[in-house]
Chain A
Amino acid sequence: MQEASIIRIAPPPQPGYFKRTLGALFATPLNAIVTLICLWLFWLVLKGSYGWLIARMVTEGGSTACRAGNGFCLPFFQAKLRFLIFGVYPYEEHWRAGSAMLLFLAGLGISMIPRFWGRWLLVLWTGIVVASFVLISGGIFGLKPIETSQWSGLPLSLILTTVGLALGFPLGVILALARASNLPAIRVLAIVFIEVVRGVPLISILFMASVMLPLFMPTGLTVDKLLRAQIAIIIFAAAYIAEAVRGGLQAIPRGQHEAAGALGLHYWQAMRQIILPQAIKIVIPPLVNISIGFFQDTTLVTIIGLLDFLSTIRAAMTDPEWIGAAVLEGYLFAAFVYLVFSYSMGAYSRYLERRLRTGHD
């Protein structure tokens, strides 16, 4: 034995996959304890969710059965699923909000593919926004007009997010440029705006838009409530996007500015053709993260009385018929939808980060 091991010069055989994993799991006593605790936790969660979701699922009988039972309440979703998604949008017209939502998602899907990046995306999005606006609000093409106070549920959350980001983006870029400007007055204005907006909570801006803004309008002019919330979100998004873009601008070496100047490009030409395309490319991952954050932050509009996705679900949970019957179900459904959206966007952001890192330098 001894001799054999001396003779053999090849490296010792790599432990197999099984052994490697086992080694990582039980290398030291501490590690072993940690492993056991983790396994125990996973087991608890699995057991609990199996029992609740499958073994004890309540499949029939209304709210009384759900209150009495101790499992997942299927009747709640059977009765309320469309309300959970579309809220108080007129029942017969749900297809309109639904197809607008599909349009949005399709647009989102297309813009996530780097091969399609380009100016025509802008055209596409304009088309999508106009089409979904027509679909949801109606009033032409024989569609029944529907007031903004009836826009609710998941479509409302998506509208607030996408429109907020789409309009916040150009505003944010302008603010970032203003903040990097060498004209002191403009720089100061931009800094004050950005820092004030970033220094206060979103709900205070929403409060301001919903309570104060109407008083600041001239007599005889009222701005729609939803639009006011939307403006608040645009302003808020613009300030955060501006900070992200500023980071990108700072990362562009001075030489680029100088080279653009040497080519005889004036400020706007230089920015549009040389600086911004590079700067924005750098900050795409943080921008995606900001988007995820804003999708979640739209839940705050419930505080000024708009029925976004989360508050629609809470409204369904507090229908006198269903009160106390499906608390966990409601929250889990909401959490699940948010998780799916945000996680896929997050995964996309990580993919982009990797792609941009290798594609550059």
Chain B
Amino acid sequence: MKKIKGLKWVVGLGLAAGMAAVSVAPANAQATLDTVKKRGKVRCGVAPTSPGFSFADDKGVRRGFDIDICRAVSAAVFGDPDKVEHVPLNTNVRFQALQSGEIDILSRQTTWTFSRDNSLGLDFGPVVFYDGQGIMVTSKLGVKSAGELSSAAVCVLPGTTTQQNLEDYFRPRKIKYESVVFENTDEWRNAYFNGRCDALTTDRSDLASVRAIAQDPAAHVILPETISKEPLAPVIRQNDANWKDIVSWSVFALFAAEEMKMTQANVDTFLKSQDPEIQRMMGVNGDLGKMLGLDAKWAYNVIKGVGNYAEVFDRNVGPNTKLGLSRGPNKLWTEGGLLYSPPFR
């Protein structure tokens, strides 16, 4: 009898340990903000590895453009950019993770499309990166335009819009091609480098990053055609307007900051600014923060935490990084680009 008692004790302890491991977090569908505040962290779905956008550095710390978007939201909510829990997601599970409430934001180079917006129970925040699908080939081939690619093999990634874009572009032009599909970006990239495919297709920003890490970047050319529009935006659940506003305005704060020449370094000086819009934005005047259910200095915290859009861009994907992207359409509207923040009024 004593033996059995001992066993029960062991089983009980095991069960208790098991219960401790079940981290069950309440996530009321109606108030993501409350859940996030209670949890003390923003759960953010990101790509497992995508150079420049989401990757782990030598010490395992996640960095990248998409990561900084999450950090901006965290700064707006908590005043601290690092209260983010990154959940690495493959393309095939990203929407379900959001639908089920496992994550609060999906910031994963996700293209905003009609059907995603309208059939998945999801909403898209402001576009943070205007991209377009391009095609890269080795310069040795002497190809000048996508129209010459008849009977070529093209390496594509599945589950993204790229596969359908390619088909939509080639079919009306009666161009036959072989598509080689990879689940995994590494396989996909290496297959192209090794000549398994003649061409590589994905968003132009990604193509640039692939070319950047090629042994001889000059041996590859990105063809002039942009075969699709790829507006990349953070995604949230449809039924929480307040949370959508928080995410959207955190992004707008990045745009506005660049427009107003605020940077991570000089943002403190703007607290004393006499400009009424800056005063409202910095929470010195008015109650914009309260309207979002956040601290009055939320926007100040965003800039202090991650910098303005230009800083985020340059730090992760800009000309001085491995990716070496130029701003392209991702310039402010005042400079002929597409970034435009509604007024802070």
Contacts and interface: CB of A to CB of B under 8 A. Distances in A.
Interface in A94-135: 119, 122-123, 126, 129-130, 133
Interface stretch (B6-14, B145-153, B165-173, B327-335): B6-14
A317 interface: yes
B101 A219 contact: yes
Interface stretch (A21-29, A32-40, A222-230, A258-266): A222-230
Contacts of B49: 315, 318
A305 B6 contact: no
B27 interface: yes
A307 interface: yes
A303 B55 contact: no
A67 interface: yes
Given A119-B6, A222-B100, A323-B213, A211 B93 contact: yes
Given A220-B26, A224-B23, A319 B190 contact: no
B21 A119 contact: no
B25 A91 contact: no
A119 B93 contact: no
Q: Would you call the interface of chain B mostly helix, strand, loop, or mixed? A: mixed
Nearest to B96: A211
B20 A133 contact: yes
A86 interface: yes
Contacts of B90: 303-305
A86 B60 contact: yes
Nearest to A211: B96
Nearest to A88: B60
Contact of A88 (B3, B29, B62): B62
A319 B93 CA distance: 23
Interface in A59-96: 67, 79-80, 83, 86-91
Contacts of A219: 27-29, 101
A220 B27 contact: yes
Interface string B135-154: 00000000000000000000
Interface string B17-48: 11011111111110000000000010000001
A217 interface: yes
B17 A307 contact: no
Contacts of B22: 223-224, 227
A147 interface: yes
B17 A133 contact: yes
Nearest to B58: A83
Interface in A298-335: 303-307, 311, 314-315, 317-320, 323-324, 327
Interface in B290-341: 322
A147 B186 contact: no
Interface stretch (B81-89, B220-228, B247-255, B269-277): B81-89
Contacts of B215: 67, 324
Interface string A251-287: 0000000000000000000000000000000000000
Contacts of B99: 214-215
B6 A220 contact: no
A215 B102 CA distance: 10
Contacts of B97: 214, 225
B17 A222 contact: no
The listed residue with most A CB atoms (<10 A of its CB), out of B26, B60, B185, is B60
Contacts of A88: 56, 60-62
Contacts of A211: 92-93, 96
A217 B3 CA distance: 38
Given A217-B100, A305-B48, A149 B88 contact: yes
A303 B159 CA distance: 13
Contacts of B62: 88
Given A221-B24, A222-B27, A320-B213, A87 B60 contact: yes
B78 interface: no
B10 A122 contact: yes
Contacts of A147: 41, 85
A227 B21 contact: yes
A131 to B, nearest CB: 10
A307 B6 contact: no
A161 interface: no
A80 B62 CA distance: 16
A67 B213 CA distance: 12
A90 B58 contact: no
24 contacts: A91-B59, A91-B61, A119-B10, A126-B13, A130-B13, A133-B17, A149-B85, A149-B87, A149-B88, A167-B18, A211-B92, A212-B96, A214-B101, A215-B96, A215-B99, A219-B101, A220-B28, A222-B27, A225-B102, A305-B89, A315-B49, A318-B49, A319-B55, A324-B213
Given A88-B56, A129-B14, A223-B23, 16 more contacts: A87-B56, A119-B6, A126-B13, A129-B17, A133-B20, A210-B96, A214-B102, A220-B101, A221-B27, A222-B100, A223-B24, A304-B90, A307-B48, A318-B49, A320-B55, A320-B209
